[in-house]
Amino acid sequence: MHEVDDELREIKREIIESRGLVIKTNNLTNALSADIKSIAKRQQSYERRLTWNSATAYVVFVVVVFAALKFFVDARVDAIDATSKHLRDENVRMKQALDDARQLQAERQASELEAAKFYDLVRQGKRVDLIKGWESMRTKPLSKAEGQFLADAVDKARAEQASLLYLQGLDSSRLQRWQEAATAFEDSLHYEDQGAVAPQSKLELGSAYRKLHKQKEAIAVLEPLVESNADREVQDDALEQLAWCQTEIEAFNDAKNTWRTLIKKFPDSHYAPEAKLALMQLSQTH
């Protein structure tokens, strides 16, 4: 009986230990399950973050690729636009150059015809028409040789016309037609005021003005002639005429100075005795 009780106690003890072991095992199992779930959640979270990171990296990569592609395409388009604009501008420039060349060629042909007509005036000796037409002709697109040839012809025509008018003025002076003479000398100087006959024309013009009682106009012509580098005979004649004009308008001091200049500058002139006498008379009376 005693042994049975011991066995029962032993069985109870084993049952209790087994139960405790089962409970511990169950607790460990639950703890392990909780750990596994936690690990699984962390793994899922990691995988989710990894997925998002991969997706983000892919999106960033795609954006970067598209941005780079856009920049490349934009740069290419800009380069093509610039080239196209340059070609359009060059095309416009070449068309303009072609139009200018055609216009220049047309003007050149027209000027050649006008030059031929202008040369006919030279051969026909129409000096007045030649001189009048030169102002418009000189602006034409002539060659250097053509322009120089025609300019020389015009200069020759000016000199010839000035000489002809000077001679006409002398003829009128001999006939004492002073207004006609003055007009002829004025026209001569209009054609050429620095030519070979210009000093003589100015002298004769001053003399004609004096005869017409236009002493002031005569003085305006004679004073520059006296101060110029004209011929000796022209200068002493001009001084003599100038002195008489100044005397006639009662500019006595100016007249005295002019007579003195004549005597000093041209002591051997045939006007010197006249100058001395006139200076003495002016000094006595004024």
pLDDT band at 118 (very low <50, low <70, confident <90, very high): low
Structure tokens at 219: 């003085």
Q: How many CB atoms lie within 10 A of CB 91?
A: 10
Specify the pLDDT at position 216.
Answer: 92
Mean pLDDT of all residues in 250-259:
90
Distance between CA atoms of 204 and 49, rounded to whole angstroms? 119
pTM for this predicted structure: 0.58
Specify the pLDDT at position 30.
Answer: 78
Q: How many CB atoms lie within 10 A of CB 223?
A: 17
197 pLDDT more than 60: yes
The helix (H) or strand (E) run that includes residue 24 is: helix 2-124
Specify the pLDDT at position 179.
Answer: 93
For 250: left if phi > 0, alpha if psi spans -120 to 50, otherwise beta; the answer is left
Mean pLDDT of all residues in 171-198:
88
Specify the pLDDT at position 142.
Answer: 64
Tokens 């892919």, residue?
Answer: 58
User: 106 versus 210: which is more confidently predicted?
Assistant: 210
Query: Per DSSP, which regions of 125-194 are E strands?
Result: none
Distance between CA atoms of 142 and 108, rounded to whole angstroms? 7
31 pLDDT more than 80: no
Cα 75 to Cα 20, 33, 68, 80, 225, distances in angstroms: 80, 62, 10, 9, 78
Specify the pLDDT at position 217.
Answer: 93
Query: Per DSSP, which regions of 53-106 are E strands?
Result: none
As a residue count, the chain comes to 286
pLDDT band at 16 (very low <50, low <70, confident <90, very high): confident
Lowest mean pLDDT among 23-37, 73-87, 140-154, 251-265: 140-154
